[in-house]
Amino acid sequence: MPTDQFGVDGKTVVITGSSQGIGRVTAERFARDGADVVVSSRDQEAIDAVAEGINEQQGGDAIAVECDVRDRDAVEALFEATDQRLGGVDVLVNNAGASFMAGFDDISENGWKTIVDINLHGTYHCSQVAGGYMAEGDGGAIVNLASVAGIDGAPYMSHYAAAKAGVVNLTSTLAFEYADEDVRVNCVAPGYVATPGVETQMGVSAEEIDRETVERRIGLEEEIADLVQFLASPASSYVVGETIVARGVPDIMETPEV
């Protein structure tokens, strides 16, 4: 059975927050399948290394463009560089994010604004600018990264949970508005994923996780990249405005013994 509908060969893909973790693995996945990727974060040295690795080993081309998604001028410069060097943009992956743990009463206004600005305001900036390029071209796909925290809430991460809840809602709203422009907007809400950050906090590394094991609540970066590519590809052409939750075995209330 042909699987061409899952392909992204020849697409130009911008991935924010791609110096490490899910963003980096997603960039490598797209490039391996023939897409040209723009890796971006606030750390030019780190994304230079990612782009260099992709260009040495993968199928597509990669360029690195430094960008703070909170800065509108920087976001516009990111997409201008993408357009000039690669000829437009077909896919945007809004992956840039940040958080820290603190009780609600201990979060300063600056701390709250910083997390909301990166996770939600950054998604606004990038989606609005990329959407303009897509509308002028042949349409495209925007894939947002939210979190189960934005669906269920998260104690001691209220700022992050609120921002990600905004991303989930923005996804469905923007999907409706952008449909006339042939731009599909969808979202992935991961649970725990074995990123470098999770390894630091929880002591669980990707090497300890078997992808073929069903009974688990920690996923792999590659498993999230698979979902992102699906939502960016023609295979998901009838999926619009949806949030796919990926958190492993659901945590449900068991039937009490009688």
Amino acid at 176: F
Instruction: Decide if 246 contacts 191 (C-beta within 8 A).
Output: yes
User: CA 159, CA 167: separation in Å to the nearest integer?
Assistant: 13
φ/ψ (deg, to 5) at 21 = 60, -145
Q: How far is CA 224 from the centre of its chain?
A: 9
Q: Tokens 């206004």: give the residue.
A: 109
Query: Annotated catalytic sites, by residue?
Result: 160
Token digits of residue 119:
């996770």
Q: Which domains does the chain have, with CATH numbers?
A: 7-246 (3.40.50.720)
Q: Tokens 């104690």: give the residue.
A: 155
Neighbouring C-beta atoms of residue 216, cutoff 10 Å:
13
Q: How far is CA 121 from the centre of its chain?
A: 14
Q: What is the DSSP letter of 117?
A: I
User: CA 6, CA 202: separation in Å to the nearest integer?
Assistant: 34
Q: In angstroms, what CA-CA distances link 205 with 26, 194, 209, 214, 218?
A: 18, 6, 7, 17, 10
**pLDDT (tens digit, 0 to 9) for every residue of the chain, 258 residues total?**
578 899 999 999 999 999 999 999 999 999 999 999 999 999 999 999 999 999 998 777 899 999 999 999 999 999 999 999 999 999 999 999 999 999 999 999 999 999 999 999 999 999 999 999 999 999 999 999 999 999 999 999 999 999 999 999 999 999 999 999 999 999 999 999 987 766 666 666 676 777 778 878 888 999 999 999 999 999 999 999 999 999 998 888 777 665
Q: Considering the entire predicted model, what is its pTM? A: 0.94
Instruction: Decide if 193 contacts 228 (C-beta within 8 A).
Output: no
φ/ψ (deg, to 5) at 233 = -100, 165
